[in-house]
Amino acid sequence: MRITVKQQVLLAPATVLTLLVMLLIFMQYTYWNLAQKRHEAKVIGTTFIALAEADMAARRLHLLLRSMQHTGMAAPEDMALVADLYERLLTAIDRLEPFGPLKDSGQISQLMTLAEHLNPANSPEPGKTAELFARLRAELSTLSNITQIHRNKLRLVHEQDINQLVERTAAVSMIVLILAILLGLFISIYVSRRILGRIQGLSNNAARIADGKLDLPDAPERIRDELDTLALSINRMTKRLIQVIGTEKLLEGAEEERRRIAMDLHDQSLADLSALLRGLQNLKTTAPDEVATQLETLAQDLERALANLRDIMNNLHPQTLDILGLGAAIEAHLEQHCANHELPEYHFYLDPRISAINLDRIKQLTLYRIAIEAIQNVLKHASASRYEVSLELRAENLVMAVEDNGKGISRNQNHEGRGLNNIRERARAIGADVSWKPSRFSSGTRLELTLKLTE
């Protein structure tokens, strides 16, 4: 299962929060049980008061009926009092609520039945009335005793429950809080050490790469989180960097070998041929006319050979690049090889700030080679009548562009030809980005290379 770094960081607080929620649920359940007992105590209290009121109303009603039966007379106010007392008796009995042992005993319903038999409106007989009142008061007394006993017992249990609840809640809360703190600390320390250890390893790998120690770091066997993704990216980046540096070293070695060959040609072959040319010219002054003509022809051929040799030397390693810099070398190439009425018209723009840039020799050579390759592609393949070459600064980037009004690059054409692939690989070797876009002319292609100057 993949657990992200964010989830690992949130694991400790989530665990603590879960334990606290469980503690709240436990406390809520405990207090809910206590609330039920409080409700039962309230019901018992209400029933006890109702029984007392019913007993008082029954006693007064019995005395009043006995008085009326003894005198044989009933005043209107006495009749109203009898009706009122009987109504109070029924109301008090109706307020009785069954609890505990009274829920299934049926005593409350029996009490209501006795009260209905005592209705003064039915004019019960005096003997039967006394018997009914005796039974009613006996039932009321029994229920009152049961209620009082249960009430006392519940009060004692309630006090014990409160004490136990407080003790148990305090103990459980303390245990859960300590457990939550310890577990949260343990998970936090474990996760933080694990994450920080892996981050430290990644940081060490990055530091070694920055210091130029290109030891390939281990790649994770499987991707579990973002850090494994980062480790895999560093592994791939190191591989790519090793390849780029290898390519750069190869190019640097090739350029150094070209420079050495150019120097050897200059110091040996060019010097020998120049000496030979001077010998022919000296010999021509003393030779007969017929021989002088032949010597002149040989001297011209030798001069052409010397010019070709100088071109070869310049292609191997342009001296203008070492002496005047990148912009001047590109401009010299354009003036020497492209300033011909049979070739497309060109325009060269050089940002004056370019001369202040301190580019190393390999980057200058690479940019020069890319510019020459791009110009040759325009001349050979673009069928253009005009093209522009520019070298300028944009923010912290050096931008070199070659743009023509030719036929452009067809989608069906092999976009990764040898020349374009050489440009791409050379740009990659110096850390530059290269792209081909539609030209700003009505047709054609724009090659744009961007080299970041600051790290």
In a domain, 349, yes or no: yes
Q: What is the CATH number of the domain that holds 407?
A: 3.30.565.10
Is there a contact between 346 and 338 (Cβ–Cβ < 8 Å)?
Answer: yes
Of 289-293, 317-321, 352-356, the range with the highest mean pLDDT is 352-356
Residues pairing with 345 in the sheet? 386
Q: Is residue 313 domain-shared with residue 436, that is, in the same domain?
A: no
**What confidence score (pLDDT) does residue 374 get?**
92
Q: How far apart are CA 444 and CA 438, in angstroms?
A: 6
Q: Is residue 119 domain-shared with residue 178, that is, in the same domain?
A: yes
* Phi, psi torsion values for 393, nearest 5 degrees: -105, 135
In a domain, 196, yes or no: no
Q: What is the mean pLDDT of residues 269-284?
A: 74
**What confidence score (pLDDT) does residue 14 get?**
83
Q: Is residue 340 domain-shared with residue 386, that is, in the same domain?
A: yes
Last residue of some domain: 281, 300, 317? 317
Q: Which of 125-129, 305-309, 398-402, 444-448 has the lowest mean pLDDT?
A: 125-129
* Rounded to 5°, angle at Cα 349 from 405 and 329: 105
Last residue of some domain: 289, 317, 345? 317
* Structural domains in the chain (count): 3
pTM reported for the whole predicted model: 0.46
Q: Is residue 353 domain-shared with residue 268, that is, in the same domain?
A: no
Which residue would you say has higher pLDDT here, 398 or 242?
398
* Rounded to 5°, angle at Cα 178 from 172 and 179: 85
User: Residue 116: is its pLDDT beyond 80?
Assistant: no
Q: Is residue 247 domain-shared with residue 330, that is, in the same domain?
A: no
User: Residue 416: is its pLDDT beyond 60?
Assistant: no
Three-state SS annotation for the chain:
CCCCHHHHHHHHHHHHHHHHHHHHHHHHHHHHHHHHHHHHHHHHHHHHHHHHHHHHHHHHHHHHHHHHHHHCCCCHHHHHHHHHHHHHHHHHHHCCCCCHHHCCCCHHHHHHHHHHHCCHHHCCCHHHHHHHHHHHHHHHHHHHHHHHHHHHHHHHHHHHHHHHHHHHHHHHHHHHHHHHHHHHHHHHHHHHHHHHHHHHHHHHHHHHHHCCCCCCCCCCCCCCCHHHHHHHHHHHHHHHHHHHHHHHHHHHHHHHHHHHHHHHHHHHHHHHHHHHHHHHHHHHHHCCHHHHHHHHHHHHHHHHHHHHHHHHHHHHCCHHHHHCCHHHHHHHHHHHHCCCCCCCEEEEEECHHHHHCCCCHHHHHHHHHHHHHHHHHHHHHHCCCEEEEEEEEECCEEEEEEEECCCCCCCCCCCCCHHHHHHHHHHHHCCCEEEEEECCCCCCEEEEEEEECCC
Q: What is the mean pLDDT of residues 57-73?
A: 75
pLDDT band at 435 (very low <50, low <70, confident <90, very high): very high
* Rounded to 5°, angle at Cα 438 from 437 and 441: 135
Share of the chain above pLDDT 90, in %: 11
pLDDT of 247-264, one tens digit each? 667 666 766 676 677 666
Q: Is residue 62 domain-shared with residue 99, that is, in the same domain?
A: yes
Q: How far apart are CA 52 and CA 386, in angstroms?
A: 119
Task: Say which amino acid occupies 224.
Answer: R
CB neighbour burial string for 293-322, b if at least 16 within 10 angstroms, e if fewer = eebeeebeebeeebeebeeebbebbbebbe
pLDDT band at 433 (very low <50, low <70, confident <90, very high): very high
**What confidence score (pLDDT) does residue 314 get?**
67
In a domain, 326, yes or no: yes
The whole-chain average pLDDT of the chain stands at 79
pLDDT band at 266 (very low <50, low <70, confident <90, very high): low
Q: How far apart are CA 209 and CA 225, in angstroms?
A: 23
Structure tokens at 17: 């929060």
Q: How far apart are CA 432 and CA 362, in angstroms?
A: 13
Sort 391 into a burial class: Cβ within 10 Å, 0-12 / 13-18 / 19+.
buried
**What confidence score (pLDDT) does residue 455 get?**
53
Q: How far apart are CA 129 and CA 311, in angstroms?
A: 146
In a domain, 213, yes or no: no
Residues pairing with 393 in the sheet? 398
In a domain, 438, yes or no: yes
Q: Is residue 360 domain-shared with residue 425, that is, in the same domain?
A: yes
In a domain, 338, yes or no: yes
In a domain, 211, yes or no: no
What residues make up the domain containing 269?
220-317
Q: Is residue 138 domain-shared with residue 157, that is, in the same domain?
A: yes
User: Residue 451: is its pLDDT beyond 90?
Assistant: yes
Q: What is the CATH number of the domain that holds 80?
A: 1.20.120.1730
Is there a contact between 83 and 57 (Cβ–Cβ < 8 Å)?
Answer: no
Q: Is residue 365 domain-shared with residue 448, that is, in the same domain?
A: yes
User: Residue 411: is its pLDDT beyond 80?
Assistant: no
**What confidence score (pLDDT) does residue 277 get?**
72
Last residue of some domain: 274, 302, 317? 317
Q: Is residue 402 domain-shared with residue 268, that is, in the same domain?
A: no
Q: What is the mean pLDDT of residues 296-308?
A: 79
User: Residue 152: is its pLDDT beyond 80?
Assistant: no
User: Residue 448: is its pLDDT beyond 80?
Assistant: yes
Q: Is residue 372 domain-shared with residue 448, that is, in the same domain?
A: yes
**What confidence score (pLDDT) does residue 388 get?**
95
Q: Is residue 235 domain-shared with residue 167, that is, in the same domain?
A: no
| Dihedral angle computed from the Cα positions of residues 315, 350, 367 and 238, in that order, rounded to the nearest 10 degrees | 170
pLDDT of 165-191, one tens digit each? 677 777 888 888 888 888 888 888 888
Q: What is the CATH number of the domain that holds 286?
A: 1.10.287
In a domain, 351, yes or no: yes
pLDDT band at 308 (very low <50, low <70, confident <90, very high): confident
